[in-house]
Amino acid sequence: MNSSIALKVENVNKIYLQGGKHVEALKNISLEVKTGEIFGLLGPNGAGKSTFINILAGTVNKTNGFINVWGFDLDKNPRQVRASLGIVPQEINVDPFFSPKKILEIQAGLYGVKVQDRITDQILELTNLSDKANAYTRNLSGGMKRRLLVAKAMVHQPPILILDEPTAGVDVDLRRKLLESVRELNRQGVTIIYTTHYLKEASDICDRIAIIDRGKLVALNSTQELLKNNSDLEEVFINLTNKENEHNN
Ligand code: ADP
C-alpha cells in the first residue's frame, strides 16, 4: 500500500441485526485518510460514526468490505492494526485514585511497552499535564481528564490517533486547550481522525472532511473546498441532506 495513505476503507458495509430487523449502519463506505492529516468524520446522531470507529477499534465486526490501517489488513493482521491505532473514547474511563503518571504506566504495561521504551513524561508534556503528573486524577478538571484520555491513547506511540467526539460536554476554554493538544500531536507527525458533530470545530481543525449521513458517505473533500461555496459547514450539510432527500423521493 502507498505509504502516504494511513487508512484505506473499501466498500465497507455494516448491518446490525436487532430484534429480527436489519439496521444498515454503514452503506458501502470507501475512503482514504492521508498520512499526516487531520481528517474529520462528521455526521448527525445515528449517521454511523461510532460504528465506523468501533470497526477500526476491533470491537464491532464489519459485515463486509476491506480495511487497511498503516499497511495492515484488519482481517489478517488485527494485532498490528491495534498497535497502529490510538483511540480516545467519548467516555472518561480513568481511575480517579491513580495519578496521570501511574495511569499511563499501567496503560503502557497493557500494551506490552517495555519499561525502557516508555515515554510517559514526554506524553505528559505533549498533553500539557506535566504539572499534574502525580496528582490524584479525581482532582483534575474535565478538560485535563480529556487530555489524559488522549495521553493514554498515545502510550504505544501509534502513528494514527482516533478521537471519538472528544469535546462533547467540554466548555469552550477547555475545548480550545484540547484542540491545541491535538494540533501539537499532529505537528509531531501523528495522523488524526476526528469525529464530531460540532461543525465549527471540524472546520477549524480538519484538513479534509468526510460527511456521513444515515450510513452513506455524502461528501469527502478538503475543508477549504467544502466551504468554497458555502458560508459554513452547517450550510454544506443542509444542502447535502436536501439533495439526498430529493434523490430518495
Ligand atoms: P453515530 O455514532 O453517528 O451516532 P452509530 O454508529 O451509533 O451512529 O449508529 C448508526 C446506526 O446503527 C443507528 O441507526 C443505530 O441505531 C444503529 N446501531 C448502532 N449500534 C447498534 C447495535 N449494537 N445494534 C443495532 N443497531 C445499532
Name the residue of 15, 18, 21, 23 to mutate for ligand 1: max ligand atoms within 8 A of Cβ.
23
User: Of all atoms in ligand 1, which is nearest to the CA of residue 54?
Assistant: 6
Query: Whose Cα sits closest to atom 14 in ligand 1?
Result: 46
Residues lining ligand 1, Cβ inside 6 A: 16, 18, 23, 25, 43, 45-51
Q: Say whether pLDDT at 220 is over 60.
A: yes
Q: Say whether pLDDT at 31 is over 70.
A: yes
Q: Say whether pLDDT at 8 is over 90.
A: yes
If one counts every other C-beta atom within 10 angstroms of the C-beta of residue 169, the result is 11
Q: Which of 121, 122, 129 is nearest to 146 (CA)?
A: 129
* Cα distance between residue 33 and residue 182, in whole Å: 17
What is the structure's pLDDT at 173?
79
Q: Say whether pLDDT at 199 is over 90.
A: no
Q: Say whether pLDDT at 161 is over 60.
A: yes
* Cα distance between residue 151 and residue 29, in whole Å: 30
CA dihedral 179, 182, 183, 185 (to 10 degrees): 160
Q: Say whether pLDDT at 249 is over 70.
A: no
pLDDT: which is higher, 242 or 88: 88
User: DSSP of 44-72, one letter per residue?
Assistant: -TTSSHHHHHHHHHTSS--SEEEEEETTE
Q: Say whether pLDDT at 208 is over 90.
A: yes
Percent of the chain with pLDDT over 70: 96
Query: Whose Cα sits closest to atom 13 in ligand 1?
Result: 46
What is the structure's pLDDT at 29?
98
- 194 CA to middle of ligand 1, Å? 18
Name the residue of 51, 162, 193 to mutate for ligand 1: max ligand atoms within 8 A of Cβ.
51
Cell (9 digits) for 45: 446522531
Q: Say whether pLDDT at 14 is over 90.
A: yes
- 226 CA to middle of ligand 1, Å? 26
Q: Look at the chain and count its residues.
A: 249
Residue ranges in 70-110 assigned as alpha helix (H): 78-84, 100-110
What is the structure's pLDDT at 231?
75
Q: How far is CA 239 from CA 30, 82, 89, 144, 216, in A?
A: 22, 37, 30, 37, 15
pLDDT, tens digit, 9 for 90 and up, residues 54-112: 999 999 999 999 999 999 999 999 999 999 999 998 888 888 889 999 999 999 999 99
Entry pTM:
0.91
Non-local (6+) Cβ contacts of 199 within 8 A are 42, 232, 233, 234, 237
- 109 CA to middle of ligand 1, Å? 32
- 46 CA to middle of ligand 1, Å? 6
Query: Whose Cα sits closest to atom 20 in ligand 1?
Result: 51
What is the structure's pLDDT at 200?
81
Q: Residue 88 carries which side chain, given as an amino acid letter? A: V
* Cα distance between residue 166 and residue 195, in whole Å: 8
Beta bridge partners of 162: 87, 193
For the chain, list the domains and their CATH numbers: 5-248 (3.40.50.300)
User: Of all atoms in ligand 1, which is nearest to the CA of residue 60?
Assistant: 23
By CB neighbour count within 10 A (0-12 exposed, 13-18 middle, 19+ buried), where does 159 fall? middle
Q: Residue 194 carries which side chain, given as an amino acid letter? A: Y
- Position 233 confidence tier, pLDDT thresholds 50, 70, 90: confident
